[in-house]
Amino acid sequence: MASHRRAHTPTLLSLSKRQWIRLVAIMAAVIMVIAAGIVSRNFYADKEGTAASTVKEYSATDLAGSTVSRGSTRTELRGDNGDTSYVTVKINGKSRVVLGTDFTNVKSVLDAGDITLEPDDSVSPSLDTKVDESTVITITRANTQVETSDDPIAFNIVKKETSSLPKGQEKVETEGEEGVMETTSLVTRSGDTVVSSNVFTSYVKKAPVDKVILVGTGSTATTSSNSLGDTVPAGEMQQWAHDYLLANGYTESDFTAAVYIINHESGWRVNATNPSSGAYGLPQALPGSKMASAGADWATNYQTQFKWFVNYCNSRYGSLAGAYSYWLSHHSY
């Protein structure tokens, strides 16, 4: 028999104390589950964001990237110029990156990289082929070998005053060590005679270590504000850089800072070219064409490159000392 009683629908007011407790517990559990989901989502979002922002970096001093000098992601390498493009060129199996802002075809890349073709060279793709950042230009050069050599980088002598020694007395704190410049060249020979040798890449394989000499002041009072010490110029380029800085109101400390950075970046090699990033010249400018702001001869003139370097340090870090401090912390500048 069917029941005709009106169905009883419980309301909030009709709930017993036990039912109220159960309802509150259920709602609390639901809220906790929702909150946990939100926290979890934010946690993984943060993790993903951190991973995405991690920048692996290359260096003029260490191609493995443990001592960094330049970022390897396209965004980092472009720096302030978003129009900069990067194309890889391989010659007889050796690679380097060529940077430019107006690449149209293969020929434009070779021109930007100062790569001159020989009559018997085989180029793929063809010179008039359009390029983008996925393009790899391959050059096969007959009768030419890729040769790598290690050349010494002179160390500097740095003199620092100390009150712990009698006045005038000197003591070697750190012995100097030469650095190593690795250079890869394309060498063409006729028998035992070298017909041509063109530098393809060149980078600091091992930075030099300064010879630090402590010079006694014989006084507990600080007689010099130059905590970096006075660096003795090594070679013609450093002597010019030293004289240029002092003639323009800079200090011995500024010269010491400049020498340290350039020793580690390029070993004072005007045509130093990082094969991984394309950074170029004394300051390892990225791209090297940035130095055109200091002179049209930026690719070959060390004075033009040094002037650009000084202006860059001042504009970005406020001073050469500021760039030096940043380099010590980040191994880049």
Other CB atoms within 10 Å distance of the CB of residue 212: 17
**Looking at residue 56, what is its pLDDT?**
27
Contacts with 288 (C-beta within 8 Å, 6 or more apart), sequence order: 99, 278, 279, 280, 281, 298, 299
What are the backbone dihedrals phi and psi of residue 278, each rounded to the nearest 5 degrees, phi first?
A: 90, 0
Rounded to the nearest integer, the mean pLDDT of the chain is 79
Percentage of the chain modeled with pLDDT above 70 = 73
- Whole-model pTM: value is 0.65
Instruction: Provide the pLDDT confidence category of residue 11 given band limits of 50, 70 and 90.
Output: low
| Element at 206 (helix H, strand E) | strand 193-206
Q: Is 123:77 a contact under the CB 8 Å cutoff? A: no
- Residue 66 amino acid letter: S
Residue-range domains of the chain with CATH: 57-140 (3.10.20.30)
**Looking at residue 142, what is its pLDDT?**
79
Percentage of the chain modeled with pLDDT above 90 = 43
Average pLDDT, integer, range 211-231: 77
Q: What is the pLDDT of residues 65-122, one digit of tens each?
A: 333 344 444 444 445 556 678 899 998 888 888 888 889 999 999 988 888 888 888 8
